[in-house]
Amino acid sequence: MTTTEISRTRQTLPQVAHARNPGMELDLDWVAAVQANTSAIERRAASLGGRRSVKKDYQAAWLCKAISLIDLTTLSGDDTEGRVRRLCAKARQPVAPWMLERLGMEGLTTGAVCVYHEMVETAVRALEGTNIPVAAVSTGFPAGLSPYRLRIAEIGESVKAGAKEIDIVISRRHVLTGNWQALYDEMREMRAACGEAHVKAILATGELQTLRNVARASLVCMMAGADFIKTSTGKETVNATLPVSLTMIRAIRDYEARTGFKVGYKPAGGISKAKDALLYLALMKDELGHPWLQPDLFRFGASSLLGDIERQLEHHLTGAYSAANRHAMA
């Protein structure tokens, strides 16, 4: 796929080209039957780097595609309105105009901007006139241990403030104790609280102990109506990995085969290099196909990733690597 082909695809595809996942009744027999062959999953993930390699114009095209899939994120305790406004300006113009012109990618933006609830209104104002949605992390992010009624209320406040997507965190204890009914009920209520806003269920996979737990938690959240399943908050010791991603996207594939509904995927945390983004894109295309290379079904939760992609694109155009500080986040 060249930059011209990707640009044409971006212009013609609707933002959401599939029916929203309505969820289904909890099927405990299906959940119990889920297994994960850890050694086979790890071998498959380890093979990706050697099996998929793109160069020159094709690499530039895929990197532009990756930019369009980034949830550009700031989730720091020292966030200010000024920082969020600058981040939104970066989302609107993620790469220098001269580079986009030479690549034939004018109008390229990131997939979304992701912030804490306190900064939702600021981000919404800064993105007026664009189609870039604001995503808010919610439900006691990142631990998800605040009082339940407050977690539900927080979703409503973020939606009221203008967030079009809500990244919620599940209660990990439900997974670790095998209380699938409790996880389903929690996810179902959070989905209802989101209303028209799409909900991304953060599993915090680095804290779920086994890939089987990851697979089962993924399935239960989809049964409860999650629009996306997401690996991590970015605050855990272990965040997105290829084996975890393979486990989750195969759960997505199984869910679509059984129900006919597509669910999105968002790896987050630790994806900071352009070469890593290319591996995830190859994995998605191999396992789920072209529909999951669009913003309505795939996102990267990242911040520093964009800077490295910019550097790689400048190298592609000029033959020289620029200093990282030439591609500041905001």
Domains of the chain, each with CATH number or no CATH: 3-12+22-318 (3.20.20.70)
Stretches where the chain sits below pLDDT 70 are 1-17, 51-52, 325, 328-330
- pLDDT value, residue 320: 87
Residue found by looking up tokens 């403030």 in the block: 161
- pLDDT value, residue 291: 95
- pLDDT value, residue 8: 47
Distance, in Å, from the CA atom of 31 to the CA atom of 198, rounded to the nearest integer, reads 24
Q: What are phi and psi of 229, to 5 degrees?
A: -115, 140
- Cβ burial of 142 (10 Å; 0-12, 13-18, 19+) is middle
Tokens of 241: 């990995």
Distance, in Å, from the CA atom of 293 to the CA atom of 65, rounded to the nearest integer, reads 8
Tokens of 253: 């594939």
Its pTM stands at 0.93
- β-strands 198-202, 165-169 pairing: parallel
- pLDDT value, residue 74: 96
- Residues acting as catalytic residues: 167, 230, 266
Measured between alpha carbons, how far is residue 2 from residues 79, 183, 265, 327 in Å?
A: 37, 43, 24, 24
Distance, in Å, from the CA atom of 310 to the CA atom of 209, rounded to the nearest integer, reads 35
CB 295 within 8 A of CB 327: no
